[in-house]
Structure formats: structure tokens, C-alpha cells
Structure 1
């Protein structure tokens, strides 16, 4: 039993007998310790979040690090990778036990408590970060569950016929909901936190409180300067066994891209969320390799034998890390702690027994992915007939009906959800899109405003609300939305440029200037193309909740070739699944362009604008690509289409001026160069083109004097 082993560890450590075991040959073992959170020294400390992720306090961690420093070989990520030669791991030449220290998730105490201790003892570690947690400043789902239940003031709660007393069963309730998140398919738990908040009648934790729990990128960058390697813990920390292989690939690629962009260092390691073997899939290792990782770490899978280590299922232990006595004995005599024996290493995937509602829902998802909308609608309808409270099935039914043009039925299904749970930002957003499609603009505005009120950082809702304000000729409100979106995402250079242009327009022409409409048109599509927006929106939901994040990073970032190749495979897979989705072709065009494969890029941009002629960014990229290849006549045809949108893009008009000059269309050259200069008077390139035209006119006049 574990208690007896802890007692033995205490006896051996306190009597210094543990040092005798250091003489045993330990070169064949690698012990990787998996920490999460550390408590401060305060004996009165308590948390409003999950108690289960706190391993120990600062003093105890300092004792452990000191012991490990003096009695083991603590390897860095780089040193561990250096041990991998010709397909096998070779142990370092030392008689001391080999140890790696790791932390998961990205909590602030990793910086405030653990980092100073590691830095003082000059001990390396690997910190695995869930990037959405850092970017969005949101605590992870297990902490939200614990917080909601701890704050629940009701005497009891009931969830799907499962009762819990809030006087005596709060810990049981926390464990119940956390296990559901680990075991149920993602589509079944997507709204579980909101449902739990409704049941508990408690609001989500205060954003400021959440922010204080989470690392910042500045803190992470500082740690990289002092022997702390940063690895991926995926993007959203979704349990990999609950999502599709493509979703796993997205999680791994997106997290890697974000960390490399923020730290300027390559990311070579990933730890799988809740990484026991039951919570990963047979595809996970191959996906990690294809995403560009060199090492993949599991959780609570035991101790490694050097020569049998598999690089994408490296074993770690998070157990028995509470005391220096157990950590010391674990490192010098790991065989003593083969608790659960083979069960720790080989846990079979739990068989699921879906209800009829689940079966219909999953079949609907498959049909939606295949583009078989009618079959998808039929199956989602059967799912909600079997379980009228099946929120995600009803949402998918609503957006499928919208895609099929059955807008009244779509709205009815979404309103059914709001009758039960009025604080669903996503549902208000979907209804805003649907009412806009029906040209019921006041209702659309009402729901989009509610979405933004519930989630003030809902960028898509804010921008679409700006479009509708333009439709209502409320231009000041439209500009407010543009400014608000800009504050949410200051790294979006396109959005910042549009914001600056909008502010210039208002300063020049006043608040009631209709010229604001093209700003939104250039960014998210023409305001008279809401049907197209709905179509793209529905397709996007059936693909991936991370797609917008991936697109934004890929558009603006500079990446190694291997990262681009991983992204290329991901989007080629999506193209095969969703051949009618213009965003997929657009992103493929961007990736091919970054890889220097220009014919492929041209083809993809061409397909993107064929599918959606109002896709401004795709057409601009196609225009520039054609111009750079000296395909000037084709380029200006696309340029003229863009000109009709009255975009405030000086680069576009300068490019048109250059293309027209190359075709000896000098009057048009002069017109476009002047237009670029009018938008940006300091535009040197446009002035140079204009000078060339003037030089040509001077030459003609000199050659043909009156």
C-alpha cells in the first residue's frame, strides 16, 4: 500500500539509509518528475480553485531541489535530447540517477515560487504551457469546475439525475464533473461549464482573479534565460482522447507556433494533457511527430528504462512528490514504487456506450463534415427528439438549418436554448447572424449586442456588430466597434490599419460618414454579403474552433520550413474534407507562398476568390502574386475589382499604378499613384511611380515639340 511505502521512505531518508541505495547501479533508469502547482509558505493558504493540482509548498520544493541537485544528475531538455542517438536513448555517463523536472499548465506560481528556487540552485526544468490559457487569461476547466462548486450556496444540485449535497459532497461533485471533461467527447462537454454555472447559480470567476493565476509571456521569456525550456501542453488543454485526430493536430501545431512566436525559440517537446495512456490515442504519437515535436511526455506512467524509451511516450510520474523522502527514494530505488504495476502502464481505453441521442449526434457531425446537410439535419433532429436538452446537438441543428436556408427553424432551435440558458454568448451570436440573413437588422443587432455584453472580448461578434451599425447608418457606433476590436487584438496589423483609416475619416468628414462601410467590407466581407458570411461561419464551426487562431498566426508569422510543411498537410486535409470553403484555399495560398511554391499559391488564391468573389484578402494576395510574376493584365483585372470596393489600401493603388505603368497605361498609372498618395502622403514608392509617369510625359513632349 502507498501508506507503507511513504512510511518506509521517511524512515530511510531520516536515518540517511537512503544514501546506501545511491551505490546501486542506476544508469538504466530515467525518472521524470511532473509537478503542477506550488503553494506559498503561508500555513493558512487556501484556494478558491482546484486543490488537486497543488503538489507541495515552497519550502518542501526547495528541499527536494536541493536534494536532487546534490544527489542526482538533473538533465535539461537539451541534454535529454542529446541522449537520443540512432533511434535509441543512451544514458549519460554518470553513476548518479538521471532526473528531469517538469511543470505542466502555465500557472503564475511556477514563476513566483518554483522559478526562484530552480534559479538559485541552477537546476534546469521544462515548463509545458497551454497557450490559450496564457493568451486569453482564462483559468483551465478543472479550476472553473472547482470554483463554481465551491462557491455554490444552494443546499444541493442535480445534474442529469445525479444529485449532490453541497453540504457534504462538494469534493465528490468536483471529481464527477472533472471526470466527465476527461472522458466524454469534446462535443458533449463543450458547454458543460456553462451548464454547471447555471445549475450552481454562480457566475464564472472574476477575470481579474483568473488573470492573477496565470503566467504572462514576459515571465515565460525571462525563465527561458535561466535554464527553463518551454514546451507545449497543447492550445486549449482538451483531452486528446476526446477529440478527432485533426483536432489533435491543430492543438499541437497552434501551440507550437504561438510559443515559438512569443519566445523566439524552437519548441521540441510536448506533454499531453491529462496524459495517462487512457487519455491519448493510437494516433497521438504520429501526430506529435508530424507537428514537428521531437519528444512527447505522458503522465503517471512510471519510470523510464533508458534503452526502451519511446520518444513520443516518455514516462513521467506526478505521484509521491509531496515529500523529499519519497522523491529521494523514488529517484534511487524506483522499483519500490511500481504501484499499480502494469496497470499504470497499460490502461485500456474505456468503452463508451452512447445513448441514442449521442449516436444520432455523432452521425450528424459526420454528415456535416461530408457536406450532406439534409442528412445532418435529420440526425440532429433525432438527437434532440431523444434528448430535448442536448445543447450541442440543438446548436448544430440550428447552424445546419441556417446553412440550408431554413432560417426560421434555425432561429427557433437556438431560441429554445436561450429559454433555458439566456447567458450563452455563442447562441446570441448565431442568432445575430441568422437574423441578419433574414434582413431583420434590429433583431440581429440586439443578439450581437447581448453576445458582446456576455463576452466583452468576442471579436467576431464585435466586428459583425460594426457591419450592422453601418447598415443602420450609425457610423460612430461602427467606429467604436472597430476601436474595441483593435484593443482586444492589438497584434492584428490589418485591423489596426483599418482603425487608423477610420479615425482619419471621422476626423476629416465627421461621425456620420458612410465611408466607414468599406472598412468593414475590406476586413470581413461586404455588408451586403451576410448570406456568404453565414455560409462561411457554419462551415468554420464544423471544421475547428481553433481555425481563426491558426489563420491569424500563419498570416503574420515567419516560420521554419518544417512548421509550414506541417500546416500544409493540415490544410490539405481540410481542403479534401471541405472543398467549398474559401478560407481553406486562402490559407493554403498563404502557406504555399511562404514556402516559395508560387504556382500552387496562385492556384489556391484563384480558387478562393472563385468560391467567394468578395474575399478581399484573397484577391489582394492574388493581385500581388500575379503582379510579381509580371502577369500584369491578369493582375489589373483583379485590381479593378478591388478598386470598386473603395478600399483605403494605399499599397493596392500603388500596385495598380505599377502594373498599369508596365502595360504603358500611363493615365491610369497617374490616377492610381495619386490615389495612393492621397491616402498616405508620405508613400515614397507611389511618388516614385508618379515621377516615372511625369518623366515619360516630359520625354514625349521633348521628342514631339510643338
Structure 2
């Protein structure tokens, strides 16, 4: 049944009376329309995923775009920014309503259905992409929730002590879990999807089913070349109000970096996931600004008055976009539709008070950052005692106990999770690390193999398994793990180089060669350093699930200065919380080096090495930095320390040769240059160094 306003919209549009309202002065208004998905025109169309994100079908979208093209001034992202001066917005000189078309998320139908219509009518738009969705080819959490509940054959499910009927009440069950994901802290919902999968007795959607729903970078690049600006929708699409300020910052920065890396152009705008006022925080707009964005878009917050637009609180509406009649009335009589009451009703539904379990959990994380492992264990134990189903607290408890050498307690806690969720790959991974730390290598191998069986794309588990295969002298299997990890991450050139080196060793010395061991030592550490690995897992778990992604992008990428400065602020925040973590100091060194602040870079590399003397990459960067500054005597000491690792890095030995040449240590220089050439016969720089050495001898 139509509401009164929808009925009024139909009457006015169909009688052409809506045109009369176009004469009203609307120069002060900016209406931003927020679409998500477009349905095919087939009336029999259905989706195994969330129905709620489909706004309309392709024919209706074409009618809307045609009407908007003829009756409004449709603006691009560039147009918006061109009307921004000194932090304020200036209305265009037109009496027509100003409209911006936006799409969120990164669904394929944006390209296959919406983009051809936009292109035909030569209409600009902004597409906000959630980068994890595109990179990992995985549907977002709301789609997975809908998929699991739709496919569940049980009359009801039990979850968290509650019972949910699944007859005609599936929509209510879906709405409950969607609201839970929106409202509860990340630590409580991190494993909700896999837990719901088990409760429904439905497997998570197959990769091929998810893949065909999601945009690829090739398609995004094409749209970006045809008047579709690409903005960020964060990385994981987690609701920002459920995240700490530091986690919000990394979500924004990581997404921005990934888009810029794939498109080769700056990302200027962000739309906040589920961006109604109660789903963002007071810090969100400031974080968006310091992360390098120029505009930040909210959701379902109404219509903008040009004179009062907040650059990081730009209003959008996703409501009443199903029909051209309501869209037409929305653009010419925006005040007719009130959003404030709906927003107030939603705010009243929020339950924001933290539980005692949350307080204990957060205290445990703080203790980890301070290196107070026993206090962390105590706090996590209290969190678990308060809420036995607090999975994230139990995981941190088990890992912390393992690091403290309390292996039996660690295994007991992690095994509790496996009793309820026997297909939890992460838990087998952590158990593998615990067993390796306790020198139970066979059990460690079994656990890691189980993790990889459950999740064949588990790169970290694959690499750690390679370490243990090396210790067992199963070198061919170890190389197979390197190759497998490299196929999962083709852009990782360091890993690809190690694979090639490993193949050369096998070809030259056979598959029993222990020379493969340094390959793993240089990339991921060795089994004798397993305690350091466990410490790293504890800290990574405490800092962020995205930390490895951010570090990989920072190390390999070239960025504008603004991006580097945003990243510098992020890692400085990390350092304040985790001052004893060597990776953070290393990444600060990399950022300072990219900013040509060599003195600060040197200080950070030295601190990283002080905290972890076996940190190869930190020492290698310090060696190169000192060599570039002509401080050869200092550099050579770090070079000799690196030589002890037996690394298969031709660049290192060429650098050692150059340093020894400057110090007139010609025989050593010749030895190092020869070693570099033996690893890479076509290494022209090493050949030139060798020629210079022989001229001196």
C-alpha cells in the first residue's frame, strides 16, 4: 500500500504538475542520490543474497536518469570540488535543482546495468568502492547473512541463547543479524558469519557464486575513464561506530591506497558505510580529513543547503529511489520528505552501553600493548568468564598463554572454540604456532595442514608450514609451499624472487639441498625464531587485522606526499600504543625514508633492530641508508650482520661489494661481487662493480 507522499508523487508526476514546482527557487539545494544495486528487468529475477540493497530495475533507472538529465543539473565530483572555496561551498548560478548520483559498495551490476545508462545519457556519477570486497572476491557481510538464512532448511535456529523462527519470519531474522553487525563492537561480531553458518547448517557461499556478483579492477578502471569518479567506501565496510579511531583511520587509508594503486589516480571522496549519524563517531570527519580525503558522504541524512554543507558530512538519501515519480518530487520539493524523525527513531533503538566483558577485553589489549602478558591473560580470562562465547577474547587469551609458555592452558582455550566450530581455520593456525613454540613440530605441521585444508588461500599458514617442512628436511614440500604462496599473491616480488631462487637451488643441488632453509629465514623467519613469531602474532592481533595489508602496500608503493604523511600519523599512533613492537618502528623508518627524512628513518631502523636484532629488512634498509650517505664503516658492520643470515639477495652482496670497494677491502669486495653474480648471472650492476674492483687489484 502506498504512503501518502508516494501517492502524491505519482499524482503530480503522471499529471505533469510536477513541472510547476520546477519554477520554485532551488539554487540553495543540493540533492545527492545514493544507489546500491540495480535489478535486471526480468520480473522473475531473484537473488540468493540480500534483497534490501536493490533499489530498482534497469528500465526504471533509465527513466530516472533521463528525467534528471532533462530537469536538473547533474554534477560530478569535480563540479562539487570546483564549487568549494576556503572550506565553504558556493551554489552554481542556476535555478534548476543540483543533483549528484552515487553508487556504493562495488557490485557488478553497477557496471553491467547502471554504467551503460549513465554513459548513454552522458551523466557523471561517483562510485564508492569497498576494497576488500573487490580484492578478495567476497560478498559483504549483509549479503552473506541473507544468503545463510535464506538457504537454511531448519524451522528455526538457535544463536546466542535465542531462538529465531525461519518460516515466514526470515526477514525478521535477517534484520536482527544485520542490526547486530551494525551496532555491536567489531570484537563481538568478528566471527558472526561463520558462527551463523554453523547455526544454519549452511556452508558459506561458494567462491564462484560470490565472484560473479562483484566488480573487478578492470571494470572499475573503464568506468573511471568515462565520467565515473571512484571514491572509497572503506576497506572492510565495517560500521565505523563499532571501530576505534585508529581502526577507522586504517580502514580509510588502506582503501584509499588500494584504489590509487589500481587506478593510478588520486581518491578524493569517501562515503561512510551505513553512514547515518549514529553509525559514525565524532572523530570520523577529522579522520577522513587527515587521511587525505576532500569530501565525506553520509547516508539517509537528507538534502544539502549549499550555504551549510559540511565537507566531511555531505548529506545523501537512499530512500524513495524506486520510482521516477518520487525521485522527481524529491528533487523539486526536497522539504516534503523529512528524514529527522526516522533518524531519531533509529537512535532510540541503539544500545550503546558496553558490557563488563568488553571492559575486560579492552584492558587486556592495553596490557598487550604494554608488554604485560600476565596482566593481559588475567583480563582476557575475566572477559571469557563474563561471556564464555566471547570468541575474540578467548583467541587472544590462548595466544597470550602460548607466548607465556602456558601451552596446555593455551591449547585448552583454543580447543573450546573448535568444539563449537570444528572448521575454524584460524584456530588450527594458532594451535600450530603454539605447538611449534613448544617444539612439538609434528603436531604443529598437522594443525597448519588442517588450516590450509580448510582455507586453501591461507597464505600465512602456507608459509609457516614451509618453515616446518624445512626443519623436517622435506625441502621439495617446502618449495611447493613457497610456490603456492606466490600464486596467491602475484604482486609480491620478494616472494617471487625467492621461488625462482629455490627452483635454481633444486635444479643445481637436488631436492635434498638444505640451502632452501635461508629462503624461509629471509622471508618469514625460521623455526628457531618461533617465539618471536608468536610475539608478532599477539601484537598483530592487538593492533589490527589489516596491519599486514597496510605494511605490504607501504613497502612496495609510491605515493603522493599527502598520503605518506597520513600514513606517518597512523603509524605514530600505533607506536604510542605499541612502543615495543619492532614492525611499527620499521614501517615508520620506511615512511620517513620515502619522505627523504633520512635522520628520522635511521633512528627508526635502529630502534627496530634494537627491539629485534634478527629483523632482516630493518637492518638491510639501515645498511643501504648508511651506504647512500657515504658512511661506509658503519654500513659494513650491518652488512656483515646480514651476511650471517645467508640471504639469497643479490642486491645485498652487490651493496657489500661496493662498500668494501670504498673501504679498499678489495678481496672481500671481489668475493661479494662474485656471489651476487652467481645468484644472478645477468646482474649488470654487480658486473660493473667487479670490473672496478679488478682495476684496483
Q: Shared fold by TM > 0.5?
A: yes
Query: Equivalent residue for 1:641?
Result: 641
Query: Equivalent residue for 2:226?
Result: 226
SS of the aligned residue for 1:202 comes to coil
Query: Equivalent residue for 1:437?
Result: 437
How far, CA to CA, are the matches of 1:339 and 1:230 in structure 2?
27
Question: Following superposition of structure 1 onto structure 2, how do residues 355-504 of structure 1 map, counting pairs within 5 Å?
Answer: 355-504=355-504
Query: Equivalent residue for 2:510?
Result: 510
Query: Equivalent residue for 2:242?
Result: 242
The Cα shift of 1:93 comes to 1.1
Question: Following superposition of structure 1 onto structure 2, how do residues 110-259 of structure 1 map, counting pairs within 5 Å?
Answer: 110-259=110-259
How far, CA to CA, are the matches of 1:349 and 1:340 in structure 2?
15
Question: Following superposition of structure 1 onto structure 2, how do residues 242-391 of structure 1 map, counting pairs within 5 Å?
Answer: 242-341=242-341, 343=343, 347=347, 350-391=350-391
SS of the aligned residue for 1:32 comes to strand
Judging changes above 3 Å, is the alpha-carbon distance between structure 1 residues 311 and 339 closer, same or farther for their aligned structure 2 residues? closer
The Cα shift of 1:526 comes to 3.0
1:336-364 Cα offsets, whole Å, 9 max, x none, are 11144484699479342344333322332
Q: Is contact 2:466–2:481 with CA below 8 Å preserved after alignment?
A: yes
Q: Is contact 2:361–2:383 with CA below 8 Å preserved after alignment?
A: yes
1:542-574 Cα offsets, whole Å, 9 max, x none, are 001110000000101110101100111111111
Query: Equivalent residue for 1:701?
Result: none
How far, CA to CA, are the matches of 1:349 and 1:693 in structure 2?
76
How far, CA to CA, are the matches of 1:632 and 1:348 in structure 2?
66
Judging changes above 3 Å, is the alpha-carbon distance between structure 1 residues 665 and 349 closer, same or farther for their aligned structure 2 residues? farther
Query: Equivalent residue for 2:671?
Result: 671
How far, CA to CA, are the matches of 1:483 and 1:70 in structure 2?
56
Judging changes above 3 Å, is the alpha-carbon distance between structure 1 residues 8 and 306 closer, same or farther for their aligned structure 2 residues? same
The Cα shift of 1:252 comes to 0.3
Pair 1:689-2:689 in alignment: yes
Q: Is contact 2:302–2:315 with CA below 8 Å preserved after alignment?
A: yes
How far, CA to CA, are the matches of 1:86 and 1:657 in structure 2?
54
Q: Is contact 1:677–1:686 with CA below 8 Å preserved after alignment?
A: yes
How far, CA to CA, are the matches of 1:340 and 1:384 in structure 2?
40
How far, CA to CA, are the matches of 2:462 and 2:666 in structure 1?
42
1:312-359 Cα offsets, whole Å, 9 max, x none, are 000000000000000000001101111444846994793423443333
The Cα shift of 1:630 comes to 1.0
Query: Equivalent residue for 1:5?
Result: 5
Indicate the RMSD between aligned Cα atoms, in angstroms. Answer: 1.4
How far, CA to CA, are the matches of 2:400 and 2:349 in structure 1?
32
TM-score (norm 1): 0.97
Q: Is contact 2:436–2:527 with CA below 8 Å preserved after alignment?
A: no
SS of the aligned residue for 1:282 comes to coil
SS of the aligned residue for 2:329 comes to helix
How far, CA to CA, are the matches of 1:287 and 1:343 in structure 2?
23
Q: Is contact 1:657–1:672 with CA below 8 Å preserved after alignment?
A: yes
The Cα shift of 1:87 comes to 2.3
1:582-641 Cα offsets, whole Å, 9 max, x none, are 110110110000000001111111111121111111111111111111111111111111
Aligned residues: 697
How far, CA to CA, are the matches of 2:58 and 2:342 in structure 1?
33
How far, CA to CA, are the matches of 1:103 and 1:640 in structure 2?
55
Pair 1:35-2:44 in alignment: no
Q: Is contact 1:301–1:345 with CA below 8 Å preserved after alignment?
A: no
How far, CA to CA, are the matches of 1:658 and 1:172 in structure 2?
70
Query: Equivalent residue for 1:607?
Result: 607
TM-score (norm 2): 0.98
Q: Is contact 1:90–1:307 with CA below 8 Å preserved after alignment?
A: yes
Pair 1:654-2:654 in alignment: yes
1:459-503 Cα offsets, whole Å, 9 max, x none, are 111111110110111111111110011000000111111111111
Q: Which moved more, 1:506-515 or 1:584-593?
A: 506-515
Judging changes above 3 Å, is the alpha-carbon distance between structure 1 residues 206 and 465 closer, same or farther for their aligned structure 2 residues? same
SS of the aligned residue for 2:234 comes to coil
Pair 1:549-2:549 in alignment: yes
SS of the aligned residue for 2:528 comes to coil
How far, CA to CA, are the matches of 2:468 and 2:58 in structure 1?
53
How far, CA to CA, are the matches of 1:348 and 1:258 in structure 2?
37
How far, CA to CA, are the matches of 2:339 and 2:694 in structure 1?
85
How far, CA to CA, are the matches of 1:396 and 1:113 in structure 2?
45
Query: Equivalent residue for 1:702?
Result: none
Judging changes above 3 Å, is the alpha-carbon distance between structure 1 residues 307 and 349 closer, same or farther for their aligned structure 2 residues? farther
Query: Equivalent residue for 1:704?
Result: none
How far, CA to CA, are the matches of 1:199 and 1:634 in structure 2?
60
How far, CA to CA, are the matches of 2:349 and 2:643 in structure 1?
57
Judging changes above 3 Å, is the alpha-carbon distance between structure 1 residues 342 and 426 closer, same or farther for their aligned structure 2 residues? closer
Q: Is contact 2:452–2:458 with CA below 8 Å preserved after alignment?
A: yes
Q: Is contact 2:462–2:481 with CA below 8 Å preserved after alignment?
A: yes
Judging changes above 3 Å, is the alpha-carbon distance between structure 1 residues 342 and 173 closer, same or farther for their aligned structure 2 residues? closer
